Amino acid sequence: MPFSHKYVFGNPIEQWLLALAVVAVLTCAILVFRNLLARRMSRLETLEPDKHSGMFSEIVGRIRTYVLFIAALYPALLFLDLPPRAEAAVASAAFIALAIQVGIWGNYIVSAGIRRYVAKRAEAEPVSESGVTIMSLMGRAILWIFILLVVLENIGVNVTTLIASLGVAGIAIGLATQNILGDLFAALSILLDKPFEVGHFIIVGDHLGTVEKIGLKTTRVRSLSGELLIFGNNDLLQSRVRNFTHFQERRVAFTFGVRYDTPAEKLKKIPGMVQHIIENTDNTRFDRAHFKSFADFSLVFEVVYYVLNPDYRIYMDIQEKINMEIFEAFENEGIGFAFPTRTIHIASQPGQNAPRDSAEIDQ
């Protein structure tokens, strides 16, 4: 009997050779077609870079060779008479290969899609690199978990029972890692809700500084004194965070007191004098000035104005200038600032001819 007519696994050798030839030819043809299509897409995207941004050529280029090989097996099976179990094994292998290929495509699409979305948003507002990493990581994890469940279902695993078993184990793992998971989801919340971003100046409780990094578990803030403050993301979101980055103007309220012996005519001039000083100071908007109250040793005036610049140094320069000009104006008008005093009245005793004068003691 000729060698080509011998049987192997129920098929003559010539049929096996024919099937292998079909697989080889189809695999090579598909590879050539893939490479030509990838080059064609690359040229089109070079001519129109803003339209596709290289995604199509990347998707075509990520088609794996083993997937093409398994795809070429199906026509080859037409030349062979295989047992049902062998056909089922080939079908399962093809499905798994296709699922992995879909996962590779999806992995790239999720990452590239998030990058493109972030790039568009970055034109209006910056997005932290750690935030992009979190979104990409979670999106890819969900994709691969879904693909894994589909593959297990295809090979005969009872996914419902598996999910139930994993649910019990997941509860135990979740309890053991609840702080880590809390910080992870807090990082995602910071990314999406944006209470602050890298570069923002924030105050958390008694601590203040500039945000340097928003990580998966912690956020790092550089304080004004130079040390690095590290906050857990979950703890940070549960705190009252004051963000001064979008601070447009600063409201300033201050008080001063004048002496009780100041004449009423001069008291009436004080609000107008202060208003004139503030209105003639750059980067300010006057709000009000009032004779507020009678204190123990002074007549109290309250002034409110706005600094039209968030910079703290500019605010202090303006306040210093206003204070100096108020002092000079009061000096020119003969208005004295109050200071703590106590007046003691000494009554005359029986048998004395005249009462003594009262005495005023500075405190």
| Contact present, 318 and 284 (Cβ < 8 Å) | yes
Q: Are strands 250-258 and 299-307 parallel, antiparallel or unpaired?
A: antiparallel
User: pLDDT tens, 248-266?
Assistant: 788 999 999 999 999 999 9
Give CATH for domain 180-243: 2.30.30.60
Q: Pairing state of beta strands 284-294 and 299-307?
A: antiparallel
Say what the pLDDT of residue 352 is. 57
Which parts of the chain are beta strand (E)? 7-8, 11-12, 201-204, 207-214, 218-223, 228-232, 241-243, 250-258, 284-294, 299-307, 341-344, 359-362
As a whole number, the mean pLDDT across the chain is: 77
Q: What is the pLDDT of residue 217?
A: 80
pLDDT score, position 318: 95
pLDDT at residue 355 is higher than 60: no
- The CA distance from 251 to 40, in Å, is 62
The full set of domain ranges for the chain reads 3-176, 180-243, 250-342
CA distances to 259, 327, 331 from 362, rounded to whole Å, are 13, 21, 20
CB 249 within 8 A of CB 308: yes
- What is the pLDDT at residue 96? 81
| 166 or 38, which is more confident | 38
Q: What value does the mean pLDDT take over residues 200-225? A: 85
* pLDDT at position 163: 65
How confident is the model at residue 278, as a pLDDT?
Answer: 95
pLDDT tens digits along 315-339? 899 999 999 999 999 999 999 998 8
Average pLDDT, integer, range 184-191: 74
Q: Identify the pLDDT of residue 137.
A: 75
Look at residue 343 and tell me whether its pLDDT is greater than 50.
yes
Select from 3.90.190.20, 3.40.50.920, 3.60.10.10, 3.30.70.100 the CATH code of 250-342: 3.30.70.100
Dump pLDDT digits (tens) for 110-152: 877 777 766 666 555 555 555 566 667 777 788 888 888 887 7
Region 32-50 average pLDDT: 72
pLDDT at 285 over 90: yes
Which pTM value belongs to this model?
0.47
What pLDDT does residue 14 have?
A: 72
Mean pLDDT, residues 20-37: 79
Read off the pLDDT of each residue in 210-223 and give the average, rounded to a whole number: 85
Q: Which long-range contacts (CB under 8 A, 24 or more apart) does 89-98 make?
A: 92/154, 92/155, 94/70, 95/151, 95/154, 96/151, 96/154, 96/155, 97/64, 97/66, 97/67, 97/70, 98/67, 98/70
Q: How do residues 44-96 score in pLDDT, each as one tens digit?
A: 666 665 555 566 667 777 777 777 777 777 677 766 666 777 777 777 777 78
What pLDDT shows up at residue 134?
Answer: 66
* Residue 287: pLDDT band with limits 50, 70, 90: very high
Whether the Cβ atoms of residue 109 and residue 59 lie closer than 8 Å to each other: yes
pLDDT over threshold 90, residue 290 = yes
Mean pLDDT score, 228-255: 85
d(CA 294, CA 291): 9
pLDDT > 90 fraction of the chain, expressed in percent and rounded? 21
Nearest to 346 by CA among 360, 327, 333: 360
Which of 47-61, 149-163, 290-304 has the highest average model confidence (pLDDT)? 290-304
Residue 358's pLDDT band, with cuts at 50, 70 and 90, is: very low
